[in-house]
């Protein structure tokens, strides 16, 4: 038995998508199954009473990304306003889309989103192999070349290009180059929430300030990798507390992957490695199962299109009131491990 089949059940809503089947990426060898975690994920979006004179509120509520490492099932949306599932075309991110007539929303209301997720550890051997095909059905086929292009806050020239060239050292192979960039970010950045500019994922700011959160760590890594002609992509979602079986989720988390021909996509989590020095080697080539990915990419244009700028990243609901960004939403997130779920631990931290 060379691969372990896992059925992916995705609930069809408004005819937007149907059931698909997939297989988890088997990273430890042909007979091994990566550690996984199964849990219910719940989100509540609190929509306030809309101001007098308003006409229309549009909401885009992200739904977890569908991929082989993250089967999603039993998706339910409970809302007094009709919703439909949409996808943006570039990355395949999906979301519930709602249009609220302001004259019918004079009092606050809630939108409840619930689903079941199984998250597999993603651990990739750092040696050439036949890359696993983890492109889910129904997703756009995204060429790694797309992830060589700069994003608005992640350039590949200027100080980022200069830094990338300086930190290459004697390395010539992509994995070795990426390891140098990873080591540099961990060695020079400091994880904190000081000031007001952190959390935007501005690679130049991170390069200059040398502190920030996970978005800043990984934006710097991604910029350096792309400047060295290594495709690198940004993924964002939520941390699921490792030592709890049921709890509120209070913050987002992001990580990155870089692409090497003959090996495939390789995950890194530089900010977790900074916080857990004993797992520094582990988080270069692996990410654990204590997370839920919500979306992929930066500078996201939604469909139906928003009036405002492309989204820097997409982890929380986005809303526009009469064509202008609306910041009045409040969000709550929680999870509960399902009965009999595997222990949410990392099998091997070497």
Range of the domain at 261: 133-294
- Whole-model pTM: value is 0.87
Q: What is the pLDDT of residue 104?
A: 83
Tell me, yes or no, whether 226 lies in a domain.
yes
DSSP 227-259: HTT--EEEEEEEE--TT-SEEE---EEEEEEEE
Rg, C-alpha atoms of the chain: 20
Helix 214-227 and helix 174-188, axial crossing angle in degrees, nearest 10: 140
DSSP class of 144: G
Tell me, yes or no, whether 71 lies in a domain.
no
Q: What is the pLDDT of residue 127?
A: 81
Q: Which residues contact 344 (CB under 8 A, 6 or more apart)?
A: 37, 240, 242, 288, 289, 290, 337
Tell me, yes or no, whether 270 lies in a domain.
yes
- DSSP 3-state of 42: strand
Specify the number of domains making up the chain.
Answer: 1
190-191 vs 211-212, strand pairing mode: parallel
What six digits make up the tokens of 230? 């290594």
DSSP 63-117: EPPPBTTB-EEEEEEE-SS-EEEEE-TTT--EEEEEEEEGGG-SS-EEEEEEEEE
Q: What's the CATH number where 182 sits?
A: 3.10.620.30
Tell me, yes or no, whether 35 lies in a domain.
no
Q: What is the pLDDT of residue 106?
A: 87
Tell me, yes or no, whether 105 lies in a domain.
no
Q: What is the pLDDT of residue 138?
A: 54
Q: Give the pLDDT of the chain (350 residues) as one tens digit per residue.
A: 333 333 333 333 333 333 223 334 444 444 478 999 999 999 999 999 999 999 999 999 999 999 999 999 999 999 999 999 999 999 999 999 999 999 888 899 999 999 999 999 999 999 876 665 555 555 678 999 999 999 999 999 999 999 999 999 999 999 999 999 999 999 999 999 999 999 999 999 999 999 999 999 999 999 999 999 999 999 999 999 999 999 999 999 999 999 999 999 999 999 999 999 999 999 999 999 999 999 999 999 999 999 999 999 999 999 999 999 999 999 999 999 996 444 443 333 22
- DSSP 3-state of 62: strand
Q: Distances from the Cα of 89 to the Cαs of 4, 56, 138, 299, 301, in angstroms?
A: 30, 25, 11, 13, 8
H or E stretch covering 286 = strand 286-287
Tell me, yes or no, whether 123 lies in a domain.
no
Are 253 and 239 in contact, with CB atoms under 8 Å apart?
A: yes
Give the closest residue to 182 by CA, choosing from 131, 225, 138, 145: 225
DSSP class of 330: E
Q: Which residues contact 158 (CB under 8 A, 6 or more apart)?
A: 204
Tell me, yes or no, whether 274 lies in a domain.
yes
Give the closest residue to 197 by CA, choosing from 312, 315, 331, 299: 312
What six digits make up the tokens of 117? 């997720």
How far does the chain reach from its first CA to its final CA, in angstroms? 27
Give the closest residue to 122 by CA, choosing from 254, 238, 257: 257
109-120 vs 330-337, strand pairing mode: unpaired
Tell me, yes or no, whether 191 lies in a domain.
yes
């Amino acid at each position: 038995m060379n691969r372990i089949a896992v059925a992916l059940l995705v609930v069809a809503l408004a005819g937007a998508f149907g059931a698909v089947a997939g297989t988890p990426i088997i990273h430890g060898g042909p007979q091994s199954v990566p550690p996984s975690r199964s849990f219910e994920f719940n989100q509540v979006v609190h929509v306030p009473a809309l101001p007098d004179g308003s006409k229309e509120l549009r909401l885009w509520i992200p739904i977890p990304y569908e991929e082989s490492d993250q089967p999603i099932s039993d998706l339910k949306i409970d809302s007094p306003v009709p919703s439909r599932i949409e996808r943006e075309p570039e990355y395949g991110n999906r979301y519930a889309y709602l249009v609220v007539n302001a004259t019918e929303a004079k009092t606050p209301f809630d939108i409840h989103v619930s689903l079941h997720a199984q998250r597999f550890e993603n651990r990739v051997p750092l040696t050439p192999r036949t890359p696993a095909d983890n492109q889910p059905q129904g997703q756009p086929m995204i060429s790694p070349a797309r992830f060589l292009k700069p994003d608005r806050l992640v350039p590949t020239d200027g100080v980022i290009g200069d830094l990338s060239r300086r930190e290459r050292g004697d390395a010539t192979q992509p994995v070795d180059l990426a390891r140098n960039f990873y080591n540099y970010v961990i060695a020079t950045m400091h994880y904190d929430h000081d000031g007001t500019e952190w959390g935007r994922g501005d690679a130049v700011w991170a390069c200059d300030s040398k502190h920030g959160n996970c978005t800043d760590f990984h934006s710097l890594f991604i910029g350096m990798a792309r400047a060295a002609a290594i495709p690198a992509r940004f993924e964002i979602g939520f941390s699921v507390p490792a030592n709890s079986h049921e709890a509120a989720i209070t913050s987002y988390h992001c990580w990155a992957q870089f692409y090497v021909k003959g090996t495939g996509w390789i995950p890194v989590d530089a900010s977790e490695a900074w916080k857990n020095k004993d797992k520094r080697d582990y988080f270069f080539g692996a990410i654990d199962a204590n997370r839920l990915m919500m979306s992929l990419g930066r500078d996201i244009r939604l469909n139906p299109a928003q009036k405002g700028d492309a989204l820097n990243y997409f982890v929380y609901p986005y809303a526009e009131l009469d064509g202008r960004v609306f910041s009045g939403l409040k969000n709550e997130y929680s999870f509960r491990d399902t009965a009999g779920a595997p222990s949410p631990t990392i099998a091997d931290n070497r």
